Amino acid sequence: MLFALPRTVFACLQSMKIERTILSRPFPRPESPTSGLYVSIGTGAFISLFLLVFTPFGLHEAMPRHWPVVAGYGVVTTLAMILVAYVLPRLFPTFFAEEVWTTGKEILEAITTILLIAVGNNVYSAWMFGMVISPTSILVFILFTAAIGIIPSTVIVLWRFSVLTRRYTVTTSESVPAAHREDHGRDNLASPLPTVHTASAPEVSESEATVSEITLSSDDTKVSLRILETELLVMTAADNYVEIRYRRKGVLRTELVRTSLRSLEERTSFPPTWWRCHRSHIVNTTAVRRISGTAQGYRLHVEDGISVPVARSKSAELRTRRADMFSADR
């Protein structure tokens, strides 16, 4: 019964045809690994204060002699939230990866948290007040906890989705250069921007005196790659390596160098057009062909289907760098 409730909720949403329009849309994960920990502690403190002040569900009978015991329900809330928001993503990184995270998964995470809090409260109450744990008692605690949490949590998730979608929606005039723009109106964020907007990649001659050559080397300096600053498309962190994708003489190439993005930045003088737009990506802003956006934030599209996300903390900087991306002389 406990694990059937989330499935039942999704079945109801699907019957109302909500899943296709909202639940499958991208939704952001916390950018900071510790942010979930802070939210968990803050929510637990709020629950403790709420129960101490309003004493719902007959808790006034345990007050004031046992107020630390009543406040312990906030500790249960904190532990359940830490388990879902901090521990599970590390045990199942593929499922919780932002690339596949959706509004539906966010709601499912909230429902799972509420169910764990309900079961935890039941066990805690049995331990502290001598209550018997039974299917009926678990159901009662689920109903009590759901009455407080499920509806507000779902509403908050959908509200955040709406706000973030509006924030990161880009118009056609913002997403592609004017020289390559057609009047397609406002981009639909439910699907990627059409490839007809993509501009052809410029050919760069290696003999151009104004173009600098950059050497990207491994940590042990045994492997190095020399490329022109205009040849780079993107660099992406890949475990203990950096994947470098670049175009040379019209051919798209990929190289792996055993190092980290941070190490490369520290020992290499990057040109200003090479931008660390995300903790896992560096992009050549002159190679960007268009910008798209979802509730997860902005994405920069280069060529051949290559795109990289922009960290939400870098959104303001992106606006100042658009001049490099869509300069008139390209």
How do the pLDDT tens digits run along the chain, 330 residues long?
444 555 555 555 454 444 457 788 888 887 776 777 888 888 888 888 877 777 666 665 655 556 677 778 889 989 999 999 888 988 998 999 888 889 889 889 988 898 899 889 888 888 877 777 888 888 888 887 777 676 677 777 888 788 887 777 765 445 555 444 443 333 333 333 333 333 344 454 444 446 688 889 888 888 889 999 989 999 999 888 999 999 998 899 999 999 999 999 888 888 988 999 998 999 999 888 888 888 788 899 987 778 999 988 888 888 888 766 765 444
Same domain, 83 and 130: yes
Judge whether 313 lies within some domain: yes
Same domain, 130 and 180: no
pLDDT at 330: 46
pLDDT at 186: 36
Same domain, 199 and 316: yes
Task: Return the residue matching tokens 């510790």.
Answer: 34
pLDDT at 278: 92
Domain final residue, candidates 152, 168, 184: 168
Are 283 and 245 a contacting pair, CB within 8 Å?
no
Residue 69 has phi, psi (to 5 degrees) of -70, -45
pLDDT at 12: 54
Same domain, 137 and 177: no
pLDDT at 184: 35
Are 57 and 82 a contacting pair, CB within 8 Å?
no
Question: Which pTM was predicted?
Answer: 0.61
pLDDT at 193: 34
Task: Return the residue matching tokens 């990929």.
Answer: 254
Domain final residue, candidates 168, 189, 213: 168
Same domain, 136 and 195: no
Q: In degrees, to the nearest 5, what angle opens at C-alpha 314 toward C-alphas 320 and 202? A: 55
pLDDT at 10: 52
Give the chain's domain count.
2
The first and second tokens of residue 236, run together, are 């992406």
Same domain, 203 and 295: yes
Judge whether 139 lies within some domain: yes
Same domain, 209 and 142: no
pLDDT at 187: 38
Distance of alpha carbon 280 from alpha carbon 59, whole angstroms: 49
Distance of alpha carbon 253 from alpha carbon 120, whole angstroms: 53
Same domain, 188 and 313: yes
Same domain, 8 and 139: yes
**195-204 LR contacts (CB < 8 Å, sep 24+):** 197/172, 197/289, 197/290, 198/289, 198/290, 198/301, 198/303, 199/289, 201/247, 201/287, 201/303, 202/330, 203/249, 203/250, 204/228, 204/230, 204/231
Judge whether 330 lies within some domain: no
